[in-house]
Amino acid sequence: MKKVIAYMLTWTTYGNWLQGDKRGYVKDGKVLSENTGLYKANQNLQKHNTVVLNGRQKEIVRRAIAQECKTIGQKLYAVAVCSNHIHIVTNNINMPIGYVSRHYKNAARLALQENGFVGKLWTRGYDKRYCCDKDELCAKINYVRRHNQK
């Protein structure tokens, strides 16, 4: 079994990229195609407004993630805070990945709440992509950096 040296975490803001979305969607690590019925059903189940981060909020989230990396002793290779989703690439540490993900999501949520955000911020869960060698790590870093150029 290969050793995981790093990983990319991705999560979305609430109400964005619902299951069934026309762009496709990820479930259990698999990319699935559009499903209009499922998408509409998920829209109807929404209990809160869809969240789209503005420029100021994106910077607050970026800073909170960078600070949380320092707090838990993780190296941040790349981060992209988009209006509707987040990508981060970090080294693998001796902590369950779900625990790490919760740390980042909570740190960002608290930082935004301190700056006036009210409501549900993130969707449940996250996607993870493992890097077992330097080539995979470089590919993930480049993917995230390209998001910052958009």
Distances (CA, A) of 140 to 19, 89, 96, 97, 127: 24, 7, 20, 17, 13
- Per-residue model confidence as pLDDT tens for the chain (150 residues): 689 999 999 999 998 878 888 888 777 778 888 889 988 888 888 888 889 999 999 999 999 999 999 999 999 999 999 999 999 999 999 999 999 999 999 999 999 999 999 999 999 889 999 999 999 999 999 999 998 776
- CA dist., res. 58 & res. 25, Å (int): 23
Instruction: Tell me the domains of the chain and their CATH numbers.
Output: 6-14+51-149 (3.30.70.1290), 17-48 (no CATH)
